[in-house]
Structure formats: structure tokens, C-alpha cells
Amino acid sequence: MAGENNVGLVLLDFWVSPFGQRCRIALAEKGLSYEYVEENIMATKSDRLLRSNPIYKQIPVLLHDGCIIIESLIILQYLDEVFPDTRSLLPTDPSERAHTRFWADYVDKKVYGCGSRLYTEKQLEAGTEMAGILKTLEEELGEKEFFGGEHGFGFVDVALMPFTTWFESFNRYWGVNVEEVAPTLAAWAARCMKRESVSKSLYSSEKVHAFISGMRKDAGFE
Amino acid sequence: MAAAGAQGSCGGEDEGLTLLGFWSSPYVLRARFTLNLKGIPYKYVEEELFGDGTKSALLLASNPAHGGKVPVLLHHGRPVAESLVIVEYIDEAFQDRRPRLLPSDPHERATARFWAACVEQKMVPAWAPVFCGRTLEERVKAAGELVAVLETFEGVLAGGRTEFFGGESAGLVDVALGGFIWWLRASEAMCGVKTIDPARTPLVAAWAERFSALDGVREMAPDMPTLLEYHLWTRARFGLPFLPLHQPPL
């Protein structure tokens, strides 16, 4: 995918991974070209992936200039720091940066932590917890157009958007309808989906739901 | 079970910092190490998290998303929560205070952040069954797995060939792992297995001695008998079977 802005970036990724999707959105927001490499992590992992990430053997992995960068939020911060002339995801003020990092960490710990129970647990009992998490996020969003506030579409927006394609599954498996439980959050998701960086990086809720159902079947839960 | 001398100020001129903490929390220790190593003054407030007390209104209001978890750093009243977020905040808000905990090169920064996160993602889950194991066998097995995780950190020190993970001076990873040193050392009394074992991870063992002796770190060391007593009390509180402490070999 060499283009005008070819800076030798390679992203090892998996199409439906929300963590990989974060990186794709960020690279698109920054107008950076990169080589996308689909790793089929459900099958045998490639030598390149295992060499790049021996600790977790997971995607996403960003290769740049002979360097290996792993963990999606770390990759996002790296991109901000290495390409300062591109649109930044984090604000500059330390206090705002801390606030931003806290909420991105909240997405990891809570949205992913609870959300992944869709396919790690047979019993479908996490709905109440997820409803609470969504309400907390809605409260944090408040009246802002984006979680990034004055900074605009930013770090937390990118961190959370991929998980909005799980909303359909939250509804079908847990009966958690985001439009009812957290309508402002649902509106935010629809707003972000209009951004090209987002719409080109994410897959439809139906496709994601089918994938999650597949994981549940593979695990013997249904 | 509040530690004695819990309240108080640390250091010189007022930077408007207050840290809400708990004496034995490895996460709180990370924040304290950072402030102390940089010589930044702050007020420390010990929160009564268990026993008869309840969390202070300030703590609950400052970290509502996580139900009032410590540590919380208040800077001119504005709260910062999550230990590694606090550490990076201090590094960025007080840029003239040495040592800088994060390197300036972006790739090195990404690497430091990765290993700091690895403490939480790999080491803590390995540690949990050492603390919470229902049987001695479970705890011993977990301790063995924890040593294997520390061997990964051994590899980092071997590769870097430096005194600290951060290089010549302590950095983000030192502080991230350092908060757990005393809990790791307590494993021998808990189940007879040394998790920081000089025979298995000599560099990590030497690093633990070196880091825990630093000014700003040394003074924060929890008292070992109190730590062990607290762990027995916590196990009882969570309905875990009583397992007696191992006596050290004579």
C-alpha cells in the first residue's frame, strides 16, 4: 500500500480484532500509508508474528524502521510521538493526557474485560455489568461531541469505537440495547461511524456478531 | 488495620499534591516511589479500606468509575487515577524533576510502556494464586509459574545490561515492578517458594536489592511481619482456608 506518505509502516493484524482496528483508525486519521498484513490468528501463527511478539503471540504488531511496537494503545501513542506533524490523538496538557489515558484504560479493563465474556463464558450473565459500564461511559461523554472534547475525535474515541460493533451482540446475547441504556453513547457511535477512518476500518455488527457466535460454538457453549 | 503514622506531609514547598493510598498496595507504592525519587513534596493520606473504616468521601468522589480504588493523586484538587497513568502524569507535569521515568526516544518509550503493562498482564495474574491459593500445592505451583514470568524480566535486564530497567537510573518499569517487591519476597513465608530466586533470576534478584535500597524507595518498605499478618487477615476475610506461614530455614 505504498502511497505519498509511505514511511515504511507494516501492521500485522486480524480483520475483526478491535485492537487492530484501533490502529487502522489511527493510521487513517493521520493519513499514514502502511502495509496491512492479515494474520490468521485462529490458525497457525506465522513465524513473523511469533518473532515480533514472542511474549503474547498476538496482533496488532506495528513494524517501523526496524522497530517492533505492540499493544494497541502503546502503538497509538507511538504514532503520535513519531509523527508529530500528523493529526494528534492525545492532547498536549499533562492533566488532560492523564484523563484521556485513564478512560482509554477504562475501555480496556471494563468494555473489553466485560465484553469478552460474550465468548469466554457459557452463561450469559454479564448484561447488568455491561449496562453499568455503558452508562458510566455515557456520563463521561456528557454533552461533548467526542470523548476528546475540545481536542476533537481522539484517543478514547479511537479506543472505544471498535467495540461499538459488539453492540448488536450485547443486545442479542445479554438483552442490553445501547440505544435504550445509553442513547447519547449510541448517538456518539453513529456520529463517529460517519468518519471515513472509522467506516473503512470496522466491519458491520452483523459480521462481528456472526464471528462471536462462531467463537461460542467453537468453545462448545452452543 | 491502618498503619501507624499514616497521615503527613513529605518534602518541602507545596506543589498542591495529595496522594490517597493504602500502605501495602503495590499500585500506591508506584506513585510514592515516583514522587519520592523525583523529590516532589506531597501530602499522603492513608485510606481505611478495610476493617471498621470506610473509604473517604474524597476517595469515592475522586475515582467513581472504579468504586474508589487507590491510588488517586489530587493535583490542586484535580484527580488522577490508575497507577501507571499517575506515574506518567507526574513525569510529564514535572518535567524538570529528575530522574525522568520515561526515555525520550519514542521506540524506547513504547518498549518501557510495554514492559510496565506486562507486569499487570502477566505477573499479577501469576501472583494472584500464590496469594489466594486454596491449598499449599496450588500456591507452590503458582509460585513456580510466577518465577517463569520473572525469567522474562530477567531477559530484559540481560539484554539491556544496565543496573535498572530504565538504564542508569530507575524508570517506568522499575517503578511498575518495584511496587511488588515486598509481596514477591513474602512468597517464601506464604508457601515456601522464593519467587525472586537468585538461582533462577540472578539479575532480577540483584535489581530487587538495588531498587529497594534507593532513597525514596527504602523508606516505603512495608514491614514484612505486618504484611504477612495482613495477608492472613485478607485471606480470612475472603473465606479462604487458613494455611500456616512457613518458617524460614534456620
One-letter amino acid of A40: N
- Residue matched to cell numbers 447519547: A184
Q: Is A124 helix (H, G, I), strand (E, B) or coil?
A: coil
**Looking at beta carbons, which residues of chain B come within 8 Å of A95?**
75, 78, 80, 89, 93
* Mutate: best of B17, B62, B85, B115, partner A, most A CBs <10 A: B85
Residue of B nearest to A77 (CA): B110
Which of B88, B93, B107 minimises the CB distance to A101? B88
Residue A69 CA to residue A131 CA, distance in Å, equals: 33
Residue of A nearest to B74 (CA): A95
pLDDT in tens, B54-99: 788 999 999 999 988 999 999 999 999 999 999 999 999 999 999 9
C-alpha dist (Å) from residue A220 to A41, A122, A123, A206, A215: 19, 8, 12, 21, 9
- Neighbour tally for A175: CB within 10 Å: 12
Residue A24 CA to residue B169 CA, distance in Å, equals: 36
C-alpha dist (Å) from residue A215 to A10, A56, A161: 28, 20, 21
Q: Chain B, 11-70: which have a CB under 8 Å from a chain A CB? A: 65
Q: Report how many Cβ contacts below 8 Å link chain A to chain B.
A: 60
* Mutate: best of A23, A56, A88, A95, partner B, most B CBs <10 A: A95
Q: What are phi and psi of A54, to 5 degrees?
A: -65, -25
Q: What is the least distance, in Å, from the CA of B122 to any CA of chain A? A: 9
β-pairing, B78-81 vs B17-21, is: unpaired
Please give the grid coordinates belonging to residue A62. 506495528
Does residue A142 belong to the interface with chain B, where contact is any CB pair within 8 Å?
Answer: no
pLDDT higher than threshold 70 for residue B5? no
Q: Which residues contact A23 (CB under 8 A, 6 or more apart)?
A: A11, A13, A60, A62, A72, A75, A76
List the one residue out of A188, A186, A191, A145 whose CA is nearest residue A167: A186
What is the rounded average pLDDT of the residues B30-42?
Answer: 98
Q: What is the least distance, in Å, from the CA of B150 to any CA of chain A? A: 12
Does residue A26 belong to the interface with chain B, where contact is any CB pair within 8 Å?
Answer: no
Which of B89, B106, B118 minimises the CB distance to A98? B89
pLDDT in tens, B171-230: 999 999 999 999 999 999 999 999 999 999 999 999 999 999 999 999 999 999 999 999
Residue A73 CA to residue A108 CA, distance in Å, equals: 9
User: pLDDT truncated to tens, each residue of chain A (222 aa)?
Assistant: 334 455 799 999 999 999 999 999 999 999 999 999 999 988 889 999 999 999 999 999 999 988 999 999 999 999 999 999 999 999 999 999 999 999 999 999 999 999 999 999 999 999 999 999 999 999 999 999 999 999 999 999 999 999 999 999 999 999 999 999 999 999 999 999 999 999 999 999 999 999 999 999 999 999
Which of B81, B82, B107 minimises the CB distance to A67? B107
pLDDT higher than threshold 60 for residue B10? yes
What are the DSSP E strand ranges found in A65-181?
67-70
Q: What is the pTM of this model?
A: 0.94
Please give the grid coordinates belonging to residue B81. 487515577
Does residue A140 belong to the interface with chain B, where contact is any CB pair within 8 Å?
Answer: yes
**Looking at beta carbons, which residues of chain B come within 8 Å of A97?**
88-89, 92
Alpha helices in chain B (DSSP H): 26-37, 57-62, 83-93, 106-118, 124-132, 136-160, 172-178, 181-185, 187-191, 202-212, 224-237
Q: Chain B, 122-141: which have a CB under 8 Å from a chain A CB? A: 122
Cβ(B33)–Cβ(B46) below 8 Å: no
